[in-house]
Amino acid sequence: VSAPATQQATLVKRRPLSPRVSLITLQFENQIDFIPGQWMSLVFPLFDEKQKPIRRSYSIASARSSNEVELAVTRVDSGMASNYLHDAPLNTPLETKGPQGTFFHTPNTPSLFVATGTGIAPFRPMLHAAIARGDVNSIHILFGARSQHDELFAQEFAQLSKGSSRLKFITSLSQPSAGWNGKTGYVQTHVAECFSQLQNASTAPVHVWVCGVRKMLDEVRKVLKNDFQLDRTRIHAESYD
């Protein structure tokens, strides 16, 4: 396996998606071809305690390949890399490696995507690719966030799934503010219901893709294992920590 390509990028755009999440656009000289689900590693002009440059990975959130790559980045409290991406002036150069990773969707498979926060990022290109391919199987996305302010790509996903019997976008809020009449609580409390619904409506086995922090991944795996004896080959996970 050859080492991932090192390429120079420029941070050219930044747009808030929520109070703590920004969509960051990196511009490259050439088109960056990626498989939906892949991530890029960024090398920062920041150093750890051993004076080694800090590197962090970010899922590619762009709908499709181009010479720009979009990343949805959460500002983590006192996190060096994420604060740098939120605060660096536009036109800051960054060294990147990749795209890399093997968190791939399997086309034409009834799919449940589960994400919290910026864990939704890899599902954006996966969803766009499935629509572009004309996949005939269902994709249900279960997304968890704190409140209405923390929804990510909600309008876009609602628009994409509008009028479709195969695409469904479900949001659960752990701390909704007044007026919310959708699901509440942590995503793992809705996984069993969402999985059953999808399985009952499908002739082929449902696979689950889950992305976010490890604590959530573990809770989701637990439900799928205990309630459905789901085989590990049907659970695809990407951990952010």
Ligand X SMILES: Cc1cc2nc3c(=O)[nH]c(=O)nc-3n(C[C@H](O)[C@H](O)[C@H](O)COP(=O)(O)OP(=O)(O)OC[C@H]3O[C@@H](n4cnc5c(N)ncnc54)[C@H](O)[C@@H]3O)c2cc1C
CB of 148 to ligand X, least distance (A): 18
Residue 35 interacting with ligand X (CB under 6 A):
no
Preceding peptide of 99 cis, ω within 30° = yes
Residue 39 interacting with ligand X (CB under 6 A):
yes
**How many Cβ atoms from other residues are within 10 Å of residue 221's Cβ?**
18
CA distance linking residue 47 with residue 87, whole number of Å? 17
CB of 136 to ligand X, least distance (A): 29
Distances, alpha carbon 132 to alpha carbons 2, 123, 125, 129, in Å: 30, 14, 10, 5
Q: Are 157 and 229 in contact (CB under 8 A)?
A: no
Residue 38 interacting with ligand X (CB under 6 A):
no
Select the residue interacting with ligand X from 18, 22, 25, 82 (CB under 6 A): 82
CB of 48 to ligand X, least distance (A): 10
Select the residue interacting with ligand X from 25, 74, 109, 111 (CB under 6 A): 74
Nearer to ligand X, 15 or 162 (CB): 15
Select the residue interacting with ligand X from 76, 88, 129, 131 (CB under 6 A): 76
Q: Are 237 and 210 in contact (CB under 8 A)?
A: yes
Helical (H) or strand (E) element with 132: helix 123-133
Residue 10 interacting with ligand X (CB under 6 A):
no
Q: Are 176 and 183 in contact (CB under 8 A)?
A: no
Nearer to ligand X, 49 or 241 (CB): 241
Select the residue interacting with ligand X from 79, 174, 186, 228 (CB under 6 A): 79
| Phi-psi category of residue 163: left, alpha or beta, with phi > 0 → left and psi -120 to 50 → alpha | left
CB of 130 to ligand X, least distance (A): 19
Residue 172 interacting with ligand X (CB under 6 A):
no
Q: Which of residues 190-229 bind ligand X (CB under 6 A)?
A: 213
CB of 104 to ligand X, least distance (A): 13
Q: Helix crossing, 154-161 with 123-133: angle to 10°?
A: 20
Residues near ligand X (CB under 6 A) are 39, 56-59, 71-74, 76, 79-82, 117-118, 121, 213, 238, 240-241
